[in-house]
Structure 1
Amino acid sequence: MVFCLIALTALLVSPLKHLEAVELKEVKLGDTVALMCNLSFYSEIHWLRMSEGQPMALMATRLKHTGELSVVWNYNETHFEGFIEKQTTGLRILHVSTSDLATYYCATSYQNHLNFDKGVQLYIFSENQQSKYKPFDRVQALLVSPLKHLEAVELKEVKLGDTVALMCNLSFYSEIHWLRMSEGQPMALMATRLKHTGELSVVWNYNETHFEGFIEKQTTGLRILHVSTSDLATYYCATSYQNHLNFDKGVQLYSKQNPSDHTGLDWSEPAMIPFGHAPTWNLSGVHGYCILFLLAPCLGGMSVPVAVKVRDTAIIPCYKTCDGDILWALRTKNEKVDVLRCVQGKCTEEFSFKNRVHLSHEKIKSGKLSLIISPVLYNDEGWYEAMCGLNLLCKFHLEVFVPTTVNVSVRGNVTLPCYARTEKQISDDAVNILWKKDDQTVLQIQKGITTYGSGFKCRASVSLHHYKDGDLSLNMLGVITSDKGLYRCYHNTDEEHGYPGAVTLNVTAHQKLCVKEFGDNLTLDLFGSDSVTVTFTGSDAKEIQVCSVTGNNTTCSLDYNNRVSVMNYSLVLRGLTSSDGGTFTVKDNMGEVISINTVTVKGVAWNHRCGLALLALPGLVLFIGLFVWCKYYRNRSYNTRESAVVIGSPQRESAYIGLPQQETNPHISGDLEDYPDLPVEETMPVILTTEKQDNIDEEQSMLPH
């Protein structure tokens, strides 16, 4: 019996612990399977696949402020889909094939490091096996993965107590994340960033006394100090590129000093078993008893906090099997209340949870005892316990909060409100304040000592003087995009939170309106970010990339390559033209918008009109010249005719109107044909009376001859 335990321990330690970290899901080839993510309260979710020891990015989704889901990157749009259901995001795999039989994780980035949800491993049964779920099939399926894991990772032998250095082949990226895959669950260890000076900055470290970041020959690395058995795992470095995660080849540490190390691998010849199929090993007899003995300690409960908004849906996870009666109960400081009782497959809700809780018989048979509460009420907060008969299976604390939303722009200062009943005469040494962001410490004051979470030192503060007035508000300076999230404050104990119970901080882009003259320079503030992308959207509403900036180094498109420079975390665009009128957007390396700059190039329209006027000026001058010439020629012709009328008779008077011309002029006699050049006036015939005619004859007779 002792020999049996020793022989099986090395092979089963890792899969049995992997069993606690992943959920097994049976699928059929050709079907469509949906995977849900319990990190859905984050705005951006990355979906990863761990296959044969190598992580691979599949999809990145982002939750819009409208509640809609946006797929920002997809490895294969015909095979993977993103969706949202009851405020929870998920990944849908279409037409499952053998290449999809792997372990899937969702992850998000907060406080400069990656956080992973529990994994889901897909598997099928071979045709010669029954599809009915058998005891220990979950363990058998987990024994397959390590076999092909050997081919995809680099093995590195270490000695316990030594220091080991791991190098990253993705060092040409500015930001590197180090992860450890242990017991089937990825875990973030460190995040480093390469400054523009060439120095390495550690922006987050899970354990500063055990892990170190370093740079050697322009290659970054992770140094593990005093290696212990818990460090015997697989390590990966990753970076974010074009909205998705890229992973380097893994390095698996093992030690011959510890035959039952955490790799869980037999270093002799492994049996080749098709990946994704449950093995056909016989687990009867002594082998079965050995496994039962090893499985027994895994049946204890565990405690994990769950926090949801009031009126939202809460999923209290529990992945255990129970052959007897099941009871879910709520325990608070003042009372214990039954929530749901399942007897012989029939579940009955208690009165206070009527029509709000759900647990199906099918899920109970498959070892999924997770309790779903919807909608969550404010008084649902407390400890939830799942009992199988008299045995405790799972225990979880549910926190219900009423969130308050606070908006602030990038680089702005903000105060997150929180109030509580405190003692007015309390000493500073007795003050206990804790602020958390997405379950990570922001600031903690305990026994007069203030400690800060990664990235919040010198930026976050709480006034001890105001605390005595009941004000626990958190002051933050120079807000950046990664500060957005859910903040909660506590005092006295972790379970006693202030009011409001939570504050949602929305970090909006910095808005700026720039009015520039034609030919001026435009300066875009990069807000101290080491790695950003600048895009431009013109009148055609098409977004194009201007530059990618890392430190003082720029990679720009051809249209901007000779016009751009970087100085003091600002990008300068020289010689503005009419085509530069539009919107310049600055985004960080996670695709979050930092600033929106709306640019108007003043004087561009005037220059266009001036150019048109200059083109039209010659035609206008010609038109005016022709007009003046025509006017002048017409006047000249008219004057010539006038002069011709008065020549030869400057003092001529027509004394008698209506008489023939020779009778009105005494100096002219004879016919008019004898004077061809003399103009003739046209007269109207006038009929004279007899009296007037006699007077005229009399006057003419008196004229001298």
Structure 2
Amino acid sequence: MMNLSSVFLIFTGFLAELFASQVVSLKGTAVLFCYRTQNTPAEQQDVIWRIAEGQLVAQWSRGRFTAGPGYEGRVQLSEKGIEGGNFSLTISPVEYNDEGSYDCFTGFDHLAVVTLGVSVSTDRNITAQVGDPVTLPCYANVGKQANLSHLNIRWEKDGQTVLDIQSGTGSGFKNRVSLSPDRVRTPEGISLSIAGRQSNITIQSPESLFLPLHTKEPVHVLFSSGGCTSVSVCTVEGDSVDCGPQYQHRASVHNSTLMLEYTTPADSGVYRVMDNRTNDTINTVSVSVTVSPTVLFPLLSLLLLLGAWCCYG
């Protein structure tokens, strides 16, 4: 006769088999275990995995496999395993929103409940060079069937808005930050991408060139053209500017912007704004200075006249 302690041990073992939990790293592989003692051809089996909300995760029905919404291409059931009673579900790569309780059924039998947790690195210190692009990670558990268009996502820096998915970009980050609500359920989550400061400017000679410095801290501006060694343009500290001989008579600073007057095609090239203290690149600007037709045509006429004078003079 079976005593009470034996019954307790059997019942405890049954609960341990029915209820299980595991924690998997983001983008890793999770195997949710579910078994039944049998040896039946896979073509005669019906296996269903659902998440707690009742949403379909994966289904094997008489030899046909179906992945639930949001799990396409990420879930697998082994046909060979099913024949031997192994209904374990593989999820890879794991997304943050895969967290939850999963139920395994065959027919009307409820075989297992597996709670899946998703771990994310707690390291939130990100180092990047000034001017370089960077991605700031962030994850949120959003229901698999939630309407993403209704999400209210906002990034802030020092209490100031960087990006609000509803109202737009904050001051100082225009055309440099991006976030896609469609990716909130992917391994990227609601990460914020910040592009490095790079721009292209085309002006006509002798128009003035305006180079944004993007800081009030001391900087120096370098210029290079055609792969040649960089030359110093100016050193700027506040409203004070100290420039090289070819720039000192046509350079000035206003509102953290360096202005170069009376440009010529020789000013075409790449300008880099460098932090004086760290020597990091803050801003890179590619400049093309073209010659205005009102200047080019008289110049060509003059050259033709000079050529004619040389020939007949």
TM-score, structure 2 length as denominator?
Answer: 0.42
Higher RCO structure, 1 or 2 (CA under 8 Å, sep 6+): 2
Scaled by the length of structure 1, what TM-score is found?
Answer: 0.21
Larger-Rg structure: 1
